[in-house]
A and B are shown apart, each in its own frame.
Chain A
Amino acid sequence: MESIKHFINIISAPYVMFPLILAVFFFIFPPTDRLLAIHKKLRLYKLWTNGGGIALFSSLIIIFAFGLTDSNFRRIVTKPDNVPIAGLIFLVVFFLWWSMKQAWENDERMAQGQGPREAEDAKEKVLVWPDLVYIELIALILCTVLLIVWSIFLKAPLEEPANPTVSPNPSKAPWYFLGLQEMLVYFDPWIAGVLFPTVIIIGMMAIPFLDTNEKGCGYYSFRERKMAVSIFMFFWLVLWVFLILVGTFLRGPNWNFFGPFEPWDISKLEALTNVNLSEIIYMIWLKQRLPQNIFLREIWGFLLIFFYFGAAPLLLAKTFLKNLYARLGSLRYSLFTFLLLMAVSLPIKMILRWVFNIKYIVAIPEFFFNI
């Protein structure tokens, strides 16, 4: 029992869990034909059948049931504000499974030359009264009942009166912003708090204009739009929902990482001394003092950023993303690669932090300009 808990504590650490997810993710949601072939060979599509759904759900329930035997896990999960997040896990898994199940069924139908199931249904027209209106009424009543029962059994949290001089330890943002708060560990506030949200909003708005694939409108499907679904799932499940879960369940006092079964020890010491890229280059590699001139000091970081956002899209257009470039045209392609590189910079920065203790690529605290 204890050894299982210990094992779970170890693998749930972000620097173990995140690479694990990265390694598995693109086999579960394959963006390319080659990965799809592996996906089929591994029979991973079984996840999207009834049996797979039962397996998914029972393993979720077993994990929760097992977790609830542990007092620490119980304390975190039953905290009133965390209950919606526990609910969120089940809802997200359920709807993920439901949509992928229908997508896979439609894919099979289309592989056999039939249209998607929705096309068959769409041939028949029904009147909104009473068919839809009653469904809406039932949904509305169920939702009201859920809300009232939930409200009776779970009190809304109210902590001590506000005290501007004592920060609770840990201090957490509302749960739906915990993804951003988790990014704040790796990025400066102006990036994690201003630039990233802006880019996320612009990126989401750009989806219909970047996804020029005309297929897959009005029915669930996967194979016709593998790339789009895979990228969306990656952003939504890994870079948003997963980070929220980490922020909610696995961040304890002093924003240290704690495994789900690890007691929140306020004096847990995590020795992390972070260094900037300029310090690594000048002080460790070149064994000299940092240059006085700010620009000279940070030139390596600037070059790196310039290469990442400037040269990398050009190189990719000539090599790996050749077809994509041809399909999207230069404007769409630049926007797409910019958004993609922006998003991928988060995992990159995480890995740089874990492996090299890198704090900033470009560090100019004099002008609050840190990347």
Chain B
Amino acid sequence: MADQTDETKGILKRISETPVWESVFRTGIPRNRRQRMMVILNNVFLHLHPVRLPKHGIKLKYTWCMGGLSFFIFLALTVTGILLMFYYRPTVEYAYGDIIDLKEQVPLGIMREIHRWGAHLMVIAVWLHMFRVFMTGAYKSPREFNWMVGVVLLVLTMLLSFTGYLLPWDQLAIWAITVGSNMAGATPLVGTSGPGSSLLAIGDVNFVTPSSDARFALIGGRFIGEAALLRFYVLHCIGLPFVIMIFMIVHFWRVRKDGGISSPL
């Protein structure tokens, strides 16, 4: 190698021998078995994977690839979501107009479409992933805990989608949220229209009122308005993504720690 003259080397070859390249890609092009193992071990992203898998674990008919796709769609939603945040202002005055502008005035006007259809797709992908896990009995010992984490992820996925629903501030949005948030008002004990809330009172002083109940905590007011929009915006863009990422880290970690893809004994 070293005694080859510069003229006989191709340009790609020369680049791949520069110290910069070699410092980034330590294993080189994975040609032999050892390099193929090292490329997984040395790369922080690929390191989610094991080095070797039982053969059924890479078959589409076993995995349906739905778990991976859920994660990928989540990433796509994160990217498009960040892009949307550059134009969208979460106030009653501007929100609706900004959504129209995102379509009419901003180049690449399908960003909102990708975000919305992606959200639908993610819910479906998560369902199908759980369905596959159920049908292959992959929740059984030792993966019980990871199934529970998965249920939490499902709930968070739906909550993320639900909080995003309000942001366009159109009729569809506020009435879906009206129905949803009134359910919070029906929570036993801590919702004004929930059972037992009138028992939490001393004499005439009622502790659970429309301005101090579970519904209020969610929408920040007695009506769906400015405060609700802002709360849902913060939950949708920061709060819930933060929580779901923590659970995803645990989920992926435990997939590996519990023995990787489920296999017959």
Contacts and interface: CB of A to CB of B under 8 A. Distances in A.
Q: When A and B assemble into the complex, do they touch directly, with CB atoms less than 8 Å apart?
A: yes
Interface of A: 81, 84, 87-88, 91-92, 95, 98-99, 102-103, 115-119, 121-133, 135-136, 139-140, 143-144, 146-148, 150-152, 154-164, 166-168, 171-177, 181, 188-190, 192-195, 201, 204-205, 207-209, 211, 213-221, 225, 229, 232, 236, 364, 367-370
The 8 lowest CB-CB distance pairs between A and B, nearest first, are: A193-B183, A151-B113, A121-B56, A208-B144, A189-B186, A122-B54, A369-B195, A84-B120
A139 B73 CA distance: 11
B30 A136 contact: no
Interface stretch (B5-13, B158-166, B243-251): B158-166
Interface of B: 30, 33, 36-37, 39-40, 46, 49-62, 64-65, 68-69, 72-73, 76, 92, 96, 99-100, 103, 110, 112-114, 116-118, 120-121, 123-124, 128, 131-132, 134-141, 143-144, 147-148, 151, 154-155, 158, 161-162, 165, 168-176, 178-180, 182-188, 191, 193-199, 223-225, 262-265
14 contacts: A91-B128, A95-B131, A126-B53, A129-B36, A144-B76, A147-B117, A151-B117, A158-B99, A159-B171, A161-B171, A190-B194, A215-B137, A217-B138, A367-B195
A211 B137 CA distance: 10
A176 B123 contact: yes
B52 A91 contact: no
Contacts of B195: 190, 364, 367-370
B186 A368 contact: yes
A218 B110 contact: no
Contact of B69 (A121, A143, A158, A232): A143
Among A121, A152, A192, A217: residue with most chain B CB under 10 A? A217
A272 B91 CA distance: 42
A147 B114 contact: yes
A155 B168 CA distance: 14
Contacts, number: 274
Contacts of B191: 190, 194
A99 B135 contact: yes
Given A156-B113, A194-B186, A208-B141, A220 B60 contact: no
Contacts of B178: 171
A189 B193 contact: yes
Given A84-B120, A118-B56, A367 B196 contact: yes
A88 B53 CA distance: 31
A266 to B, nearest CB: 16
Contacts of B180: 173, 177
A210 to B, nearest CB: 11
A118 B111 CA distance: 41
Contacts of A155: 103, 113
Contacts of B54: 121-126
B69 A154 contact: no
Contacts of B103: 155, 158
Given A174-B176, A205-B147, A368 B56 contact: no
Contacts of A161: 96, 169-171
Contacts of A369: 195-196
B117 A188 contact: no
Contacts of B154: 204
B224 A122 contact: no
B144 A177 contact: no
Given A139-B65, A176-B158, A127 B37 contact: yes
Given A127-B36, A367-B198, A147 B121 contact: yes
Among A140, A147, A216: residue with most chain B CB under 10 A? A147
